[in-house]
Amino acid sequence: MSVNTLSGGPALRVDGRREISAELADAVSALCEEAESSGADLATLYVSGAPTREAVAKVADVAVVTKWERAVRRFERIRLPTLAVARGECGGAALDLLLAADVRVAAPDLRLLPSFHGPDVWPGMAAFRLVQQLGLAGARRTVLFGVPITAREALERRLVDQVSRDPLRTAAAAARLLRRLSGPELAIRRQLAFDAEWMSFEDALGPHLAACDRALRRARPADGVTA
């Protein structure tokens, strides 16, 4: 459910203790819709909590997981900056969304915890994002064996941007900066960065040139007259 936010844009509080559900996916999609349709400068998430094994086992079926992953992907590709504030244990839906945010502020007690389904680490897309962002060597113990990541380790590995004893105040300062960077150009740069992880130079050249052309056109006077 949306909550009042320190950033002035729409926000959502996500309790990672809850199982993944269609309702939770709808709430994330609604946040994205509200942020984009209202002309907001950014969207904010407050995440904490990690599910028990019993909560993970309550997930209805893979159709619900698919809907959830699509909602997280939509948040990851939203056309404005995203900010996540994380506290305490963070797993399940909370971890998924934290790893999808542009800017991440954490409290010192943060512990990133992969979810377990029975005796096994849940093979969701958090594992994919951890490997993307840490590399296989950096993510191996967490993805394979569920070893938690502390706030200090998360900061050292750049999974979070700042660790603060007053995360709300730090997030408010980050929000002021992000409001100046909002717009479709950010979404374009984000996508180019995503693509750089797997595209060859030759395949990436076209999209980068198109983005350069867009930037050049935006920089020209409105009447099209150039110096």
pLDDT tens digit string along 203-226? Answer: 999 989 998 998 888 877 665 554
Specify the CATH number for the domain of residue 104: 3.90.226.10
What is the pLDDT of the chain when averaged over all its residues? 90
Indicate whether 164 belongs to any domain: yes
Q: What does the alpha-carbon distance between residue 112 and residue 45 come to, in Å, rounded to a whole number?
A: 16
My answer on whether 7 and 99 are in the same domain is: yes
My answer on whether 54 and 119 are in the same domain is: yes
Helix axes 201-219, 184-196, angle to 10 degrees: 160
Q: Sign of dihedral through CA atoms 11, 13, 19, 22?
A: negative
Range of lowest pLDDT (56-70, 123-137, 150-164, 173-187): 173-187
pLDDT tens digit string along 34-57? Answer: 999 998 889 999 999 999 988 888
pLDDT of residue 195: 87
pLDDT of residue 112: 98
Q: What is the torsion angle, in degrees rounded to the nearest 10, for the CA atoms of residue 128, residue 131, residue 133 and residue 134? A: 160
Q: What is the torsion angle, in degrees rounded to the nearest 10, for the CA atoms of residue 154, residue 125, residue 69 and residue 122? A: -100
Domain with 201 in it: 184-219
> E strands along the chain, which residues?
2-3, 11-15, 43-49, 82-90, 103-106, 111-112, 116-117, 120-121, 149-150, 162-163
Query: Is residue 227 over pLDDT 70?
Result: no
Continuous segment of H or E residues that includes residue 68 = helix 62-76
My answer on whether 91 and 14 are in the same domain is: yes
Q: Is the pTM of this model over 0.75?
A: yes
pLDDT of residue 134: 96
Indicate whether 158 belongs to any domain: yes
My answer on whether 170 and 214 are in the same domain is: no
My answer on whether 108 and 50 are in the same domain is: yes
Range of lowest pLDDT (6-15, 35-44, 112-121): 6-15
